Structure 1
C-alpha cells in the first residue's frame, strides 16, 4: 500500500522492502513443505516466488500484477504450503482495489472463492462437512478482508484529498474577502480625496473658461488624471466583487469607454463566459488589453485601435495595435506592468513600433500567455523598443 507522509521509505524502496517480506513468507512456507514427508515439487518454488518478484511493478501495472499473483496462488493451491503463501495475492488484491480496479478485483475474489470452495468440497468427497466450511470460509474471509482494506484506504485518501481541497478553497475565499475589504477601504478613502481634487480642478477650469481665458494645460491634466484614477478605482473594486464570468468577456464594454474619446476600436475576442480558462491568465490578459488601450489613447497620434484575443491549443495571444507613429519611446510603467504580468505566467511580450502607411497599424503590443496545460517553460518578455517617450 502507499506510504504515509511520515514514513522514511517511499516509492520503489518501499515496494522492494514489501517484496522481500512477501518472498520471505512464501519461501518459508515452501521450505516447511520441502522438509516434510510429502516434499515440494520443483515447480513449486517458481510458483511461490513469482508473486513477490512481480510485486514492485504494481504502481505501473496493477492489473497485471494482480492476475499473475492470483494465478500463482490458484496454481499452487494443491501443494498445501500453508496460509503464508496466500499473502502476496492478498496484498495484490488490496493494492489493485486501492488503484480503483474494483470490477476486476471483485471478479477475481469471487472466482477464487468459488474455486476454493469447490476444491475443498471435492477433496472431502463432495461431503459438506464442518471442516470443509471452516477451511473455505477462512480463505474466503481473508480474500474479502484484503478487498475491503484496499477500498477503505482508497476511500480514506479520497476523503483526505477532498478535505484538503475544501480547506484550500476556504483559504482562497477568505483571502478574496480580505482583498475586497481592503479594496473597499482604499476605494472609499482614495476616491474621496481624488473627487475633491477633480471638483476643485473642474471649478478652476470652469471659471477660467467663463472669463474667456485659456485653461492652463497642467490644470487640464490634473482633471483628466483625477477622472482616470476614479474610474480605475471603481473598476478594480467591481472586478474584485464580481467573480462570475471571465474578465476577458468584458473587453468589448471596456473598449466602448474609449470610443467616446475619438478612437475607432475594432475588437475580436474568442473568450466568453462559457470558455474554460485559467483565472490568472484571464485576469492578466484583461489587464494587458486595458493598459494597451490606455497607452494608445494617451500616447498615440492615431485614431484607430485593433484588439485581437485569440486562443490556441497551448497559449492565449493578445494583440493590440494602433495606427499612431511612436518612432521613439521608452517603456514606462504601463509596459513594465504588462511585462511583469507576462513574466509571472511564463509568457512573452513583444512591442513593435514599426512605421505605418495609410490604413496600416504600427505600434503593436503582442502578449503570449501559456495555458496551464501543457505547462510552459518561463520565457523572458521581449520588448523591442527604442528610447524616447514613455508608454
Structure 2
C-alpha cells in the first residue's frame, strides 16, 4: 500500500508540474511566432527557464522550499532577459502554496515577501509590463495562496487527529468488550474448577456438575469472543452471524452466576420494549461485569439485579450481600463500566451499599450516542 500511495503521489506531482507547464507554454507562444523582439538565443534561454521553473514543481511535495527558490530564481531571470511577458509567475505562486500546505508558515511568508519585493523592484526599475496595480494584485494572490495553504494544512492536522481519536476510541471499546467477555467467563470457570477439585473425592456428583458448568462457560466464552473479535475481521471475510449481546440474554448471565454458586434474583420493570443497540449492549455488559465482580471479589451468596426501563433512561442496580468495600477492590472493570455509561451520556456509581454489600447503579439515557 505504501508503494502504491507513493506511485499515486508521484503521478499527481507529474500532473501538477505538467499542467502548469502547459498553461505557461500556452501563454508564452508569442515568443515563438510573430515579429521577433529578441534574438533566438535569448528566446531559447527563456524557454529553458520556463521548463526549469515548472519542472521543479514535480519535487514540490518533497522539497517545497528548494523548489520555491528555483521557481522564483528562474522566473525572475526569465522576466529580466525576455522581451515577451508571460504567465510564468504561476510557478512560484504554486510553489508558495505547497510550502504553506506543509505547515512551514515562516518559510512561506519569507518566499511571499521575496516575490513581492522582487516584483516591486522590477516596477521601480522601469519594467513596462508591471505597474503599481499589478504589484498590488500580485500581493493579494500571494497572501491568498499562503492562507489557502495554511487552511489545508490545518484541516489535514484536524482530520489526522480525528482519525487517531476514532481509532483510540475503537481500541478502547474492543478492549472493554474483551475484558467483559473474557473476565466474566474465565472467572466462572475458575470458581467452578475450584469447586470441582474440592468436591472431586467427597461428592463426585457436584464435581460433575461443576465440570459441566465449566464446559458451558467455555463454550459461551468462545462464542462471545468470536462475536467481539469479528470487528477485526478482514474485509473479504464473512460477517459474524451471532446476534449482538443485549438484555434478552440476561438469563444466560444469571444461569452462569448461579452455576458458580451465587443466588441471583432478577427484578425487571417497565416492559420489554426494544432498546437501541448501544444502550442494550452497555446494559448487558454492566450487568455481566457486576456479576463477575460479585463472583470474583465479593464473597457474596446472594445478588439482586434490578432493571427499570423508563421513558427516558434504563436504570440498572446490581447489589450483593458480600463484604462491600471500595470500588478499587472490585477490579478494573468498574472503570470500564463507567466509561460505557459516560459514552452514552449516562452515569454509573459503584461502592458499598446502604444495607451492606456492594452496589452498582447505572443510568443509561435513550438515544445518546447509541446506534
TM-score of the two chains, using structure 2 as the length reference: 0.46
Q: Which has the higher contact order (CA 8 A, sep 6+)?
A: 2
TM-score of the two chains, using structure 1 as the length reference: 0.44
